Structure 1
Amino acid sequence: MKKPEHPNIIADQDIKDSFSVESWEKKHFDDQRMHRATYNRIFLITSGSGEAIIDNSSYPIAGDQLLLVAKGQLFTFSADTVLTGHAICFGDCFWERAPQSANNCKAVLFNNASDNQQIPLNNDDLQELSPLFEILHTEFTKAPYINKLDAMAAYLKIIMIKIANINASLSKGYDSYDNQLYRQFLELVSRQYQNTHEVAEFAKQMGISTRKLTELCNRCAGKGAKDIINGQLISEAKRSLQFSAKPVKEIAYHLNFSTPEQFSHFFKKNTMVSPHQYRSHFVHIGM
């Protein structure tokens, strides 16, 4: 039986065809409860103010920027937020319609979303992206026609590739062999972090040595493979502690720790507080 969400969390409603595009003009946000994303989101913000809160981080909102939210993340906007721009929402089943050639771009942008949550845009970037979002929105609002979903997926592919090119972390050659391997690693971690925490196991699946994988991650991300795995585990643990009523013991086993004590030691080593202290902090501030 599925456990209910924390009372301050609202879950995504089902979206027809797992895809939607909205155009916003000075949009206000009346509900500040955290929103659990079951779809990926791309926000193109042409003007605005306020703050986005994604998982445990805050991002000031201004014009000329992108915000990316990956499925599984928790997000909301502050009460004073006003946004003008576009919002794309898409599920994995819709993305499967996009040509395979764009998969690498999506993997880097969304499998390690915390590194790409907010992307600033210069004027040229904005002038290139805005018409694409507008065309996609126009296409979305048209009456149904044969292959409409495939047409929208093709536009989404173009947008994803453009964002990947803009993203500073990808501009150093995201099609290089090293970056392809790095994306493969991120994909594996996002799917298997509940089953294994070992760098050696991921390296074996990729057909490379543990040392090669660690060097690869240091070149592509500036941190080691173990740091990336641990970051995924800590992010998921924080979400569960803050926004669910699951006992620490259940969270520990869900994340494949042998004992609750092992999980608590891992969590405190990486955050400087125990799981109970972390949860208690948010209970006391009413979140």
Structure 2
Amino acid sequence: MVSGIAIAAPAVAGVPLAPATVRTSTNQVNLVSTQGARPAALAECFGPGDTLSTAALANAEVLFNDGSLARLGEQANLRFWPQTRKLHLSQGTAVLFVPPGQGRTTIQTPNATVGLNSSGVVVRHVPSRNLTLVMALANSTTGPVSITTGAPGQEFALYAGQMTLINGVTSQIVEFDLLEFYQTSNLIANLDLANPDYQPAADEPLAALRPDLLAALAQQLPFSTNDGILDPNLINDVMTEVDLQSAEPNLGVLPTPIEELRRDNDAPPGVVTPLPTNPSTPTEPVESLSGG
């Protein structure tokens, strides 16, 4: 099942991604190339063809030449291709912020492609379940975040405050609480995204995108549901063989992605609520405060 609308994002000339600079590196973070692995020290270059890899309890932040900022959670692998704006996340969680005017950026996982212009997204892939999660953090006048799955013709839009879960068989869109996410996610720590009074320096990576992030936060209605999923870090690989063998036969009925997550995680209330099976067309975002 896919809830959403088909989209056609406008073509925007892009600035190719060049070697990024490692800004933070906590615990075991490596840059892996054909020459082997080396520690991702501060100010180290993360170049095309390299894989930025984090171990358990590790995280990293890199800044690209165009001002795009990426953060990786633990046990994540991220790489990008030369002379393109294409990144690939084979596992783990990444958050990516793309400033205005840089063109269309894509993040590929093994079962989905995420496209964005002047926006922020969280992407997570869990290889053991072939599960991809995408969270949209802002709206852009150049178009919403686009999601393309492996199935032919499966392309749909994602607006700020919406999250999609793709397990290779079905896709589902839910709404998540932006404020709660900003206040609790380690991936967003120290970015002050929940503080409208914060005044960033002009050269701060998120300065140009911040008005759009704050606008999305201000437009979202308060949550009142008792069902919730809070942080993509809650989605992990804890489903064991014992769990699979002890489960009752489902007579061929596969769980939806959101049902899988609720079964495997105890999540805080009031954060995510599934959208209707056949929702009305999502409200178009208001004009970007920072431009596209």
TM-score, normalisation: structure 1: 0.31
Give the structure with the higher percent helix: 1
TM-score, normalisation: structure 2: 0.30
Q: Which has the larger radius of gyration?
A: 1
Give the structure with the higher percent strand: 2
